[in-house]
Amino acid sequence: MITTEDLLFFLDEVLDAMVRVVETLGDELACRRPEIDSLNSPYVTLAHCIGVMDYWGGQVIAGRETDRDRDAEFRASGAVPDLVARARDARRQLARDLESMSPYEAPRGVVSDTDACLPLGSSQGGALVHIYSELAIHRGHMEICRDILLSRVVATVTDPAVHQSDSRYSVE
């Protein structure tokens, strides 16, 4: 089986890419939602992934009480450096949460009945793979969102007609 350290290596790769997205966009664009149904801002997506790491690593794997507010994750906005610091703190906490992980054992924390019958909720190792899976999926979402946001900014700067007809994408 893959070691915890190996899995954290791959998780770091994904988390670092997500951090680069919000750092590239800066405060304003990182908090902007593209005009596409159900697409969250990159800031929201990273805030949600921090919640995923805390809940699944802390509560489900380690049995540590967490105070996750999932609804607030989807309303999050703010300064990118603060979010990046939170992501780094969450990653360090995840490493501590995994120190005593027993991958084949049942979760130490409570999981829903729906999740308990799935691999993500039936073992600590399954919960860890779930963390990686969620971050990897959301990395792709963030990269698509970044590309959409940056393409609209470029269009606004290079084509005055775009700016006149669709001012919501202006960077002024």
Q: What is the pLDDT of residues 16-67, one digit of tens each?
A: 999 999 999 999 999 999 988 888 999 999 999 999 999 999 999 999 999 9
3, 125 in Cβ contact below 8 A? no
**Residue closest to 33 by CA, chosen among 68, 72, 71, 74:** 74
Structure-token pair, residue 169: 């994408």
Ordered domains of the chain (ranges, CATH):
4-169 (1.20.120.450)
Average pLDDT (144-149) is 95
* pLDDT tens track for 75-103: 999 999 999 999 999 999 999 999 999 99
* pLDDT tens track for 118-141: 999 999 999 999 999 999 999 999
DSSP assignment of 104-159: TSPPSS---HHHHTSHHHH-HHHHHHHHHHHHHHHHHHHHHHHHHHHHHHHHHHH-
Q: Rounded distance, CA 14 to CA 91, Å?
A: 11
At 168, is the pLDDT very low, low, confident or very high (cuts 50, 70, 90)? Answer: very low
